[in-house]
Amino acid sequence: ISFTGSVGVGRGIAAACVARGAKVQLEMGGKNPQIVLDDADLKVAVELAVQSAFYSTGQRCTASSRLIVTAGIHDRFVEAMAVRMASIKVGHALKTGTDIGPVVSQAQLEQDLRYIEIGRGEGAELIAGGGLVSCDTEGYFLAPTLFSNSSAEMRISREEIFGPVANVVRVADYEAALAMANDTEFGLSAGIATTSLKYANHFKRHAQAGMVMVNLPTAGVDYHVPFGGRKGSSYGPREQGRYAAEFYTTVKTSYIG
């Protein structure tokens, strides 16, 4: 069984497969962190954060909805994000010039709006978005939404929203950023924006995620390499690449005398 979906359904499938001895491969949720360090190129950091959090309407398991930003660049990053988000075009997904299409369904739109209200209720500051967008065609169009002044304990920092909603959390330094990035039940994708080879190499080794991006969006993956995560994000062999073929292969050893 190869399954892609929610953690709850995936765990149920895993239990059933184990009970009857079936091979199982699970790709489930994510709450992917994007770290931005003081030494990062601000323009690069903003662009990859926008693509990670909002492109494909945030409806990717590899989307980054946790933007963990160190104190020295935090205010400039939030300001630059608000400016960049103002230029994002929401509309019909097949129309020329559109950056972000509609949310997939009424139910998903309601979930996104519910989490926006949860963020407000938890005391996070709404920087941009938060409401519906009027377009020429009917659809569930939601403005990309960014919160700031949030904390790691808030639900918007811990639960997968699966929509164009992200929040910025301020931390003191790289060590605090790494600890916060790993403080999650998920471990699919993780990114860092930095010009430091030291921090980039340390992050690649110590980020508790199956896929790590340096100065690239967390949601940009290639089909020819293994895809999968750790902890509650994945179970079993990786998808894609040679690992996908291995999952569907039964090994037989023959001896001839």
Q: Do the beta carbons of residue 192 and residue 70 sit within 8 Å?
A: no
- Is 61 among the catalytic positions? yes
pLDDT band at 132 (very low <50, low <70, confident <90, very high): very high
Pure H helices in the chain:
7-20, 42-54, 71-85, 106-122, 155-158, 174-182, 197-206, 241-247
What's residue 145's pLDDT? 98
- Per-residue model confidence as pLDDT tens digits over 164-179: 999 999 999 999 999 9
- Please state which of the ranges 26-35, 129-138, 243-252 shows the lowest mean pLDDT: 243-252
What's residue 97's pLDDT? 94
What's residue 183's pLDDT? 97
What's residue 39's pLDDT? 98
What's residue 220's pLDDT? 75
- Per-residue model confidence as pLDDT tens digits over 178-209: 999 999 999 999 999 999 999 999 999 999 99
Q: Which residue has the tokens 């190869």?
A: 2
How many Å is the maximal CA-CA distance in the chain?
76
The predicted model gives 125-132 an average pLDDT of: 97
What's residue 224's pLDDT? 87
| % of the chain beyond a pLDDT of 70 | 100
- Is 125 among the catalytic positions? no
- Which residue out of 17, 61, 160, 239 is catalytically annotated? 61
What's residue 101's pLDDT? 96
For residue 129, the one-letter residue type is G
- Which residue out of 27, 125, 185, 239 is catalytically annotated? 27
| Residue 231 DSSP label | G
**End-to-end Cα, the chain, rounded Å:** 37
> Whole-model pTM?
0.94
Q: How many CB atoms lie within 10 A of CB 106?
A: 9
Domain extents for the chain?
1-29, 31-220
- Per-residue model confidence as pLDDT tens digits over 78-123: 999 999 999 999 999 999 999 999 999 999 999 999 999 999 999 9
- Per-residue model confidence as pLDDT tens digits over 30-62: 999 999 999 999 999 999 999 999 999 999 999
- Burial (CB count within 10 angstroms: exposed 0-12, middle 13-18, buried 19+), residue 86: exposed
Give the SS3 label for residue 63: coil
The pLDDT of residue 247 is above 80:
yes
Instruction: Please state, rounded to an integer, the average pLDDT across all residues of the chain.
Output: 95
Distance (Å, whole) CA 83 – CA 65:
18
Please name the CATH architecture into which domain 31-220 falls: 3-Layer(aba) Sandwich (3.40)
What's residue 43's pLDDT? 98
